[in-house]
A and B are shown apart, each in its own frame.
Chain A
Amino acid sequence: MRDEQLGNIAQVAARSAQPYRRHIVGLSLQRSLFGLTAQAATTIGLPGLSSELDFPARLDENGDLFLDRSQVAALTKALLSWFTPETLELMHTRHAAACDALVDATENAARAAASLDGAPRKLSEDLANRMALVLAYGILSKFVPDVLLRALADAGDVEPPPFPETSAGAELMQNTFALYQACCALNYDPRRLQLEWPRVPAEVFQLVSEFCHRQTGFGPLAWDSPGYEDPNYVIRLLHSAFNEVDAEQVRRRLSFARRPSVARSSAGGSTKIAALRRVLGFWLDFLERETWYARRAFYFGMIPLLQQLVAGYRQKIPKFQPADLLFLDIRELVAGIADPAVIDARRHRYMENTEYLSLHGVDSSRLATMLGSS
């Protein structure tokens, strides 16, 4: 049965009580966004997704992700009979708009926070809703690209899938190598950077800091797991990636990455095939950026808003720490609700989960560092 072999969910067959992914998210704030995704998904306009109950994924309180295979099968069937050039165009337009809207909301939140202008709770709510919508697309990306690929095969398309010509990951690879070379040119190889950071010459400091700023958003799904927003992470990664590697070998790989990896579909072929390829191409590019969208929104948009809110909480709860905000859920944050006992209990549970902390590389100072309060 083909349904049982669809996409990334194939491995959960016959054991649906098992999580699809374990411990993917630990912070209450991030986990609560998953609670908004089912509602957000109903606005996408896909067949079979008219109610929150139709959404095939849920996150439990342990941060384990569950996928409902019967819902996935139902959505797959509905999609396959729904695809036309017109519906595919609609699907593409809405998906692109959701991504663009999150980027806009991120910039809006960052601007408002920087100018101390605007209502942080309202902006947080708006940002969270847009993140939830992109997250819903992220969940759908576990099987929709494969449905599109199947529809292409059914329509008689014989070309390779339209993988990105230069993916987000390939661009990141090129930019990271460029940083490595620039630092080495200033006599700061990764080992020396590790030893001396942040007490390095201003030019080196600026190189690394600007790189981190530009690449913020790349990193693991879990916000508390360090990523490219963190200079220490980047410096260690530089060492891991380029230590004892021939620069020429790296250049060869990079030049390979600049070449189109597959033949692009020509304008010929049926209109439906062209539409399917266009939409699939967008999903494949989105696959490379789905985590980036939400992570960047968190670090550039949400954190400055959270920082604005701290003073208000401290008026009510003198011992309130900035990182306590990470243990509120988004509804509590928007409503201004904070119960110190609840926060303590959530934080305690989080810190007790050593398996999660180890898996995601979260050390004892990480939360304070994230909120800029270390």
Chain B
Amino acid sequence: MSAENSTTVHSGLAAAPGRASGKAYVIRNAEDIMAVPAGCILVIRILHPHLAPLLPRVAGLVVEEGAILQHATTLARECGIPAAVGIRDARSLFRDGELLEVDGYTGKVIERHVDR
């Protein structure tokens, strides 16, 4: 992880190709899946298949689970949604509403800090 200017880069595994940016939305419990904002970057521990219907509304995917062979990889590739997996403690690192960029080619997630 490195920080320069007003960004922090988190490295994971490239799970599904493409690049996307948007506001983070962190899934912490079962209720959170009922209010996923359109165009968000979904941050989740693991993307189970039953959550697949939510994917068309998200711009990108950040997953804590650390393996390339997992549900999120399969689903994100099928839907053409850029995804990075293996971003350790992502649900603690990111806050709802902060700007994230997902690079599904490299597995990097760029956290853009807003200067105040």
Chain A residues close to B by CB (< 8 Å): 7-8, 10-11, 145-146, 149, 161, 163-164, 166-170, 172-173, 176-177, 218-221, 225-228, 236-245, 249-250, 252-254, 256-257, 261-262, 284, 287-289, 291-292, 358-361
Contact = CB atoms under 8 A, between A and B. Distances in A.
Nearest to A251: B56
A240 B36 contact: yes
B93 interface: no
A240 B29 contact: no
Nearest to B64: A11
Nearest to B30: A361
B53 A177 contact: yes
Contacts of B66: 7-8, 10-11
B69 A166 contact: no
Contacts of B56: 173, 177, 241-242, 245, 249-250, 253-254
B9 interface: no
Nearest to A165: B78
Interface in B31-80: 31, 33-36, 38, 48-57, 64-71, 73-75, 77-80
A149 to B, nearest CB: 6
B29 A358 contact: yes
Given A8-B66, A149-B69, A240-B35, A227 B50 contact: yes
Contacts of A219: 50
Contacts of A166: 78
B88 interface: yes
B50 A218 contact: yes
How many residues of B sit at the interface, in one of the four size bands? Answer: 35 or more
Interface of B: 29-31, 33-36, 38, 48-57, 64-71, 73-75, 77-81, 86, 88
B82 to A, nearest CB: 12
Given A11-B64, A145-B67, A169-B50, 5 more contacts: A163-B78, A168-B49, A172-B52, A173-B56, A249-B56
B80 A256 contact: yes
A56 to B, nearest CB: 15
For the complex of A and B, 7 pairs with smallest distance between CB atoms: A361-B30, A169-B49, A169-B52, A253-B56, A176-B53, A261-B77, A256-B80
Contact of B57 (A163, A164, A241, A359): A241
B55 A287 contact: no
Contacts of A359: 29-30
B105 to A, nearest CB: 14
Contacts of A225: 30
Nearest to A291: B48
B69 A172 contact: no
Contacts of A227: 50
B33 A288 contact: no
Contact of B54 (A241, A244, A249): A241
B50 A173 contact: no
Contact of A220 (B50, B53, B73): B50
A228 B50 contact: yes
Given A8-B70, A245-B57, A173 B52 contact: yes
B34 A169 contact: no
B55 A173 contact: yes
Given A146-B67, A161-B69, A245-B38, A240 B78 contact: no
A137 to B, nearest CB: 15
A241 B52 CA distance: 9
Nearest to B65: A8
Nearest to B69: A145
B74 A7 contact: no
A170 B79 contact: yes
A243 B34 CA distance: 11
B78 A7 contact: no
A149 B13 CA distance: 15
6 contacts: A7-B66, A163-B73, A167-B78, A169-B52, A219-B50, A358-B31
B34 A226 contact: no
Contacts of B34: 236-237, 239-240
A237 B57 contact: no
Given A146-B69, A225-B30, A172 B79 contact: no
A180 B38 CA distance: 17
